[in-house]
Amino acid sequence: MPNSHARNFVRRAALPVGCEAAFRYHERPGAIQRMIPPWESVRVERHDGIQDGDRAELVNYLGPLPMKWVVEHRDYVPGRQFRDVQLSGPFAHWNHLHRFEPLDANTCFLEDNIEYALPAGGWGAALGGSTVENKLNQMFLYRHQRVVADLNAHAKYKDRGTMKIAITGASGLVGSDLCAFLSTGGHEVKRLVRGEVKQPEQEIHWKPSQGVLRAEDLEGLDAVIHLGGESIAEGRWNDAKKQRIRDSRVDSTRLLAEALAQLENPPRTFICASAIGFYGDRGDEVLTEESAAGEGFLPEVCQQWEAACDAARDKSVRVVHARFGMILSPQGGALAKMLTPFKLGGGGVIGGGKQYWSWVSLDDVVQAIHHALMNDRVAGPINVTAPQPVTNTEFTKTLGRVLGRPTILPMPAFAARLALGEMADALILCSARVLPTALEQAGYEFVDPELEPALRKLLGR
């Protein structure tokens, strides 16, 4: 131990695979991102690997203030252990040994053993020791649960082998998490990027707004996942904004579908994002994939968006339309926008509060896409929403309870319309009670079927 104020933290977890498979998971590019708890404001800037001399650089945000953390990996023993030692960062000392111990041929233990010391010696230990201990307990409980869940998800389809998959929107909320997850399963992920291609083995150039995409760059792929599109929740909707929302989805999807149709051996699967905006404002009506489209701007966009896949479908590519509900993550989207006012006690019911919000956790979005990718009988529209949609009143009260804050400041419908314009009616005052019927019939089991446990996991509560 480095000094008399140092502490030792140890947590062990049983993993559902042998040491070699568990170790490979940790070696792959997305592992470090997958193990960062969603409530932590951390960005991975660099991760070389886990062999001796490799480094990881992370930026941890304390409010608006960035703090860089640099660790170097040492004591690499394939299939058994690796260590990371802090070179610079928030601790006076940090030495973390990751050790893998076999139980039998198909299971093992992962032990995280950390020697650490806080700055300021005894004062730091006295003032921050219990807080850091609690954070480590919470963090490593989450990390181990995430590793177990990922290993189980990959093991379920190990007989299918690994795939080569191209993804658009790879830097977005869903795309970044999906890329990390797929890479930990050994899949080769190629990102479609609008800028200069800096890593030809990992990137494909395209400019959908200009119709730029070489079909030959898609040769040899097993699947394409299209997640790109102009944000519908940023900025007021005027004619120009609505045109960008439409064009960014419809034109880019058509460009991809037509490029796939030109290939002699196109990918077997094309998964394209869509949205439950397809159904429009439907009150208490229970909506499934068999329900008709609604009326208005978003239903029209969604119909054109899905129809833009026709060229790939005509080429016998299996096309899946993932109609996403309100995706919950503190890292972005609707929940991230709600957190500050709710934490300040300014949360409340919006409009009448009776409108249904069909939500889904980011974990379930990633796992549902993976399920659709791996199951050839999944085709056409699938509602990617939790099986228990809630009203705005229920959502509001639940989030307030999880955060330990009152929810007594309502936002009347007229105020929402003044603040957001047409977007208010389309997104937060609209009611869509959507069920994931096709997913459940295809055997998908939800990670987060209930709202309150999902929020507690996402927010570390």
Q: Which residues pair with 101 in a beta bridge?
A: 109
Residues 6+ apart with CB under 8 A from 399: 338, 342, 347, 407, 455
**Residue 54: how many CA atoms within 13 Å on its side-chain side?**
16
- Residue 285 φ then ψ, to 5°: -60, 130
For the chain, the maximum distance between any two Cα atoms, rounded to a whole number of angstroms, is: 70
Cα–Cα distance, 239 to 259 (Å, whole number): 29
pLDDT at residue 83 in the model: 96
Nearest residue to 55 via CA among 21, 82, 25: 82
The pairing of strands 318-324 and 326-328 is: unpaired
Nearest to 432 by CA among 402, 461, 392: 392
The pLDDT tens digits along the chain (461 residues) read: 445 677 899 999 999 999 999 999 999 989 999 999 999 988 999 898 999 999 999 998 877 788 899 999 999 999 999 999 999 998 889 999 999 999 988 999 999 999 999 887 666 555 566 888 899 999 999 999 999 999 999 999 988 889 999 999 999 999 999 999 999 999 999 999 998 888 888 999 999 989 999 999 999 999 999 998 888 888 888 999 999 999 999 999 999 999 999 999 999 999 999 999 999 999 999 999 999 999 999 999 999 999 999 999 999 999 999 999 999 999 988 899 899 899 999 889 999 999 999 999 999 999 999 999 999 999 999 999 999 999 999 999 999 999 999 998 888 888 888 878 888 888 889 999 999 999 999 999 999 999 999 999 999 98
Hey, what are 231's tokens? Answer: 């944000």
Q: Which two tokens stand for residue 36?
A: 């960062």
Q: Quote the CA–CA distance of 56 and 74 in Å, as a whole number.
A: 12
